[in-house]
Amino acid sequence: MSVSTTLAHDDGEQLLTRETPVQRRRVRAAWLFLTPMLLCLALVAAWPLLRTFWFSLTDASLADTGDATFVGMSNYLFHSSAGWSGILVDPQWWNAVRNTLHFTVVSVGLEIVLGLLVALLLNVKFTGRALVRALILIPWAIPTIVSAKIWSWMLNDQFGIINHLMLGLGLIDAPLAWTADADLSMWAVIIVDVWKTVPFVTLLMLAALQMLPSDCYEAARVDGIHPVKVFWRVTLPLLMPALLVAAIFRILDSLRVFDVIYVLTSNSSSTMSMSVYARQHLVEFQDVGYGSAASTLLFLVVAVIAMAYLYLGRRQLEVRS
């Protein structure tokens, strides 16, 4: 390549990378529209988060948050003002972490599988499909507190309809204490959460199925390929972006779960999540510093898992493409 050709090539690259006045105006307009949203986020998210982190470094109490003394990392590593061990050396905290991860893995896994199966069924044409699609959203439309309370009555060991039906069918010999038994309480919480959120996953999967190109399925039908093979080779890869979106939404919600667990089992150690743990120390024990430390760690756990999941999901999509 000659010197003149090289110089011309370099000049062309500079022209391509140089911002034009139109591009600069578009950038300024974009920042102008984004500024109000960023200010709102700073007020409703960034400021409370920073304040929580500050409280986690103090011995603030719920009675008087203004009279707080800086204690550094004591709430994390050593002891709090109430005298218990720091959160990172507290067995109850690590039990809450295990419970939260167990709940997240099992519930999200079941929701993805069941939501995809229901979406595939609703994608088939049949009489009354529109009505069934509307009815399937009812559990998602019910507030979580209301649905958890309804299920707490249904799972009651004395008058609950679940035990009544299982006794009538001969599945059990005696009523089960679903929300009191340490071996059953977590499964009770998972059942309620799956019932509540499967419609959400179904809605996302059904929307993705409606957008799939039909020519692939026409070609597979003409070639006589088995429907199961078409699902694994065509449908599932095309649905992967929607599956990743549904999974990340449900993972974030499950890691922060509080309401359904607190309504069903309160502060039981067998189901205590990280959010329930933080609430117990913040409200019941009135230790704002220690509760803020638990909330900060919860935020860090959710952020790290979310970023790792998004990174791995992006890598997987790049490999598939």
49 and 120 part of one domain:
no
Residue 20 lies in domain: 3-55
Q: What is the CATH number of the domain that holds 216?
A: 1.10.3720.10
Q: Would you give the distance in Å from CA 142 to the centre of its chain?
A: 18
Q: How confident is the model at residue 125 (pLDDT cuts 50, 70, 90)?
A: confident
pLDDT at 155: 92
Give residue for tokens 């039906």: 165
39 and 140 part of one domain:
no
77 domain residue, yes or no: no
pLDDT by residue (tens digit) across 67-100? 888 888 888 887 545 455 688 888 899 999 999 9
115 and 206 part of one domain:
yes
310 domain residue, yes or no: yes
8 A C-beta contact, residue 278 and residue 92 = no
Which class for 58: exposed (0-12), middle (13-18), buried (19 or more C-beta within 10 A)?
A: buried
* pLDDT, greater one: 158 or 110: 110
82 domain residue, yes or no: no
pLDDT at 272: 94
CB atoms < 10 A from the CB of 221, how many? 11
pLDDT at 3: 47
